[in-house]
Chain A
Amino acid sequence: MTLLDQPAGSSASVWPPNAHGPRRDPAPLLPDPEPFRLLDTPAADKLDPELLRDLYRRLVLGRRYNQQATTLTKQGRLAVYPASTGQEACQIAAALVLREDDWLFPSYRDTLAVVSRGVRPVEALTLLRGNAHHGWDPKAHRTAPLSTPLATQAPHAVGLAHAARLRGDDVVALTLVGDGGTSEGDFHEALNFAGVLNAPVVFLVQNNGYAISVPLSKQSAAPTLAHKAVGYGISGRLVDGNDAAAVHTVLTEAVEHARSGRGPVLVEAVTYRLEAHTNADDATRYRTPDEVDAWQARDPLTVLERHLRDRDLIDDAGVAAAAEAAEELAAEMRAEFHSEPELDPMSLFTHVYAEPTPQLREQADLLAAELAAEADAR
């Protein structure tokens, strides 16, 4: 007889009562088997039309933002751009569901979420422009810098949310992670800390199917990424990431759940990166045109516009107005990025420490002398 063959109940009396608790029922934490959807379902009739129109306008704006940023890479105005084309519903909802005093912890593909928090595109894209590592005031916008090392910002979100609770503030932190990022140790540690501390954090995993070129099937054997929540004793939710209304609804509930002290939530939004990883990537090496076409049909912008048109919730004038606002944003981006950024080489030494060390003062003097010599030579 093997261990697996033991008759049921044979070891029932082995353990002392409540040995090494806690023991919790995982059922309430489990995500639904299929991604939650609202658009084109009967439940959508109860949605506020003004919210849907607002989401539509923001999606149009977001799509134009992605297009313009990609164009800027071709013109050499951005060093690199990881587009969120196809993922705009997730980006916009993540920002929209937060209060002004909540915090957003984005990753490098999430500049549209940052812009949706009210940061100017030229500041949101500073890292990718290359004139500085970071553009906006994180405290003013309650938005952490873009994190390039994957999922390393997730523990920051947990720590900030816990600190806010310690200080008596009902602030929520929302962090954005990709499907690849869920394999990182920091993702695991962040979820575990969040569960143990009951920290008011929402983890939004944008599952776009690929970590650069590696498909999800090579990334994880989990039933869904949302199921990962259960192992940490936190709630998992699965949502259609291309259904703006569904993402907005699920994230609103998740934020409320966290804010009310009922614990963190892991939301997996199933979506698709319609563009390559960045402008430097060639997606045709790892995915087929058929696959991309199928997802084009599920484009979040198309899905929402069809929903609004079918129900006469938007007319041609509304569509035109959204497009016009998007063109204004694009024009603003072009204007800002076509002026040269101001660079100050001496600033390299300014913020390494609160006060430069003696060694940095010496090195700053060296650079100042080099700059003076360059100026003399001109």
Chain B
Amino acid sequence: MSTATAPAASGATTTLTMAQALNSALRDAMREDPTVLVMGEDVGTLGGVFRITDGLAAEFGADRCLDTPLAEAGILGSAVGMAMYGLRPVVELQFDAFAYPAFEQLLSHVAKMRNRTAGRLPLPITIRIPYGGGIGGVEHHSDSSEAYYAHTPGLHVLTPATVADGYGMLRAAIASDDPVVFLEPKRLYWSKDQVTPGPVEPIGRAVVRRQGASATLLTYGPSLPVCLEAAEAAKAEGWDLAVVDLRSLTPFDDETVTAAVRATGRAVVVHEATGFGGPGAEIAARVTERCFHHLAAPVLRVTGFDIPYPPPMLERHHLPGVDRILDAVARLQWEQ
């Protein structure tokens, strides 16, 4: 796969993969703002292991698309210093589980510097992390670590699920004056769609991807296509399911979620991350707090099991699938 010839997603409608859309977002941001700089392992000459940074070193030079040593704390830590000096670094941490060495920098400095300095040292850093399973990856290549990030005040946590959002949300993340953990569902990198770029939307709004009257599926990132597929399959059971793409875990769009759940009175949260202490727990609590008198059934969760991510030949049993989602929908107390 190469995205080197991907057209810049500014102007006319084009068909792109999500990988190409992300690449275009980086390229356009770098063209528009000379302080934007891409850095990480293999991002330069190779163009990244997923080719998201393909062609950027050729166009912008090795200084603005920087191949770094293999050390994630050093990558993010030096990005902090660069941001302090007025640059706008976009950091690639190569895989979800390879981001963990950067945790101390992320939690102790990136998330806190604005707060610590009463706004004098904002850190406009975008941290791109390919995440989630479904690509047959070996251990340490399929984690869904969003709960750790969403639990950390000072970070925005975004995850696109469509090609268009791959472009628009990454542009918004780079434009943000706050640090953004930008989680890219790696199994959607090769998904294709038509994109007509418009103005970059501010971050933090969920979107209803499918209207429905029976129950509302709340999901994000890699689970969105699964939920849309489940909603199609649910028609045969007589259920008309709404699907909400959260897009942003922090900030969380209570307004859109609350309206979508109240409209149906039933909700299921779907994500790949393990369930205990996962984003679904927070979402179910928020929905219950706001929609209690509108609910016909408890909010249910369909998540990864509470196990370390399984080996590739077993991962299909772990990941939320259409059947497991429909089973949960069936348990939403329809008989009353």
List residues of A whose CB falls within 8 A of some B CB. 132-134, 137-139, 144-145, 147, 149, 152, 154-164, 166-167, 173, 185-186, 189-190, 192-193, 196-197, 347, 350-354, 357-359
A157 & B87 in contact (Cβ 8 Å cutoff): no
B104 contacts across to A, CB distance below 8 A:
149, 152, 186
B251 & A358 in contact (Cβ 8 Å cutoff): yes
A359-B254 in contact given A132-B118, A164-B85 (Cβ < 8 Å): yes
- Which has the most chain B C-beta neighbours within 10 Å: A197, A357, A359? A357
A163 & B118 in contact (Cβ 8 Å cutoff): no
Is B327 close to A, CB under 8 A?
Answer: no
Of the candidates A137, A149, A160, A354, which one forms a contact with B85 in the assembled complex, judged by CB atoms under 8 Å apart?
A: A160
Q: How far is the CA of A219 from the CA of B94 in the complex (A)?
A: 32
A134-B117 in contact given A152-B105, A160-B81, A193-B68 (Cβ < 8 Å): yes
Is B204 close to A, CB under 8 A?
Answer: yes
Nearest 6 interchain pairs by C-beta: A155-B77, A159-B81, A189-B74, A159-B78, A160-B81, A357-B251
By size class, the interface of chain B is 35 or more
Shortest CB-to-CB span from A75 to chain B, Å, is 26
A350-B119 in contact given A192-B71, A357-B252 (Cβ < 8 Å): yes
B82 & A159 in contact (Cβ 8 Å cutoff): yes
Interface string of B56-78 (1 = CB under 8 A from A): 00000001000011010110111
Interface string of B259-302 (1 = CB under 8 A from A): 00000000000000000000000000000000000000000000
Q: How far is the CA of A134 from the CA of B114 in the complex (A)?
A: 11
A163-B85 in contact given A133-B115, A193-B74, A350-B118 (Cβ < 8 Å): yes
- Which has the most chain B C-beta neighbours within 10 Å: A163, A352, A357? A163
10 pairs, CB–CB < 8 Å, chain A vs chain B: A138-B84, A149-B104, A158-B78, A159-B78, A159-B80, A186-B77, A189-B69, A189-B74, A193-B74, A352-B154
Shortest CB-to-CB span from B154 to chain A, Å, is 6
Count A/B pairs, Cβ under 8 Å.
Answer: 141
At the interface, is chain A mostly helix, strand, loop or mixed?
Answer: helix
Shortest CB-to-CB span from B74 to chain A, Å, is 3
Is B116 close to A, CB under 8 A?
Answer: yes
Shortest CB-to-CB span from B256 to chain A, Å, is 11
A156-B252 in contact given A163-B87, A351-B114, A352-B114 (Cβ < 8 Å): no
A144-B74 in contact given A138-B121, A351-B114, A354-B114 (Cβ < 8 Å): no
Q: How far is the CA of A138 from the CA of B81 in the complex (A)?
A: 12
Of the candidates A144, A167, A354, A359, which one forms a contact with B178 in the assembled complex, judged by CB atoms under 8 Å apart?
A: A354
Q: How far is the CA of A350 from the CA of B117 in the complex (A)?
A: 11
B198 contacts across to A, CB distance below 8 A:
none
B78 & A357 in contact (Cβ 8 Å cutoff): no
A157 contacts across to B, CB distance below 8 A:
81
B254 contacts across to A, CB distance below 8 A:
358-359
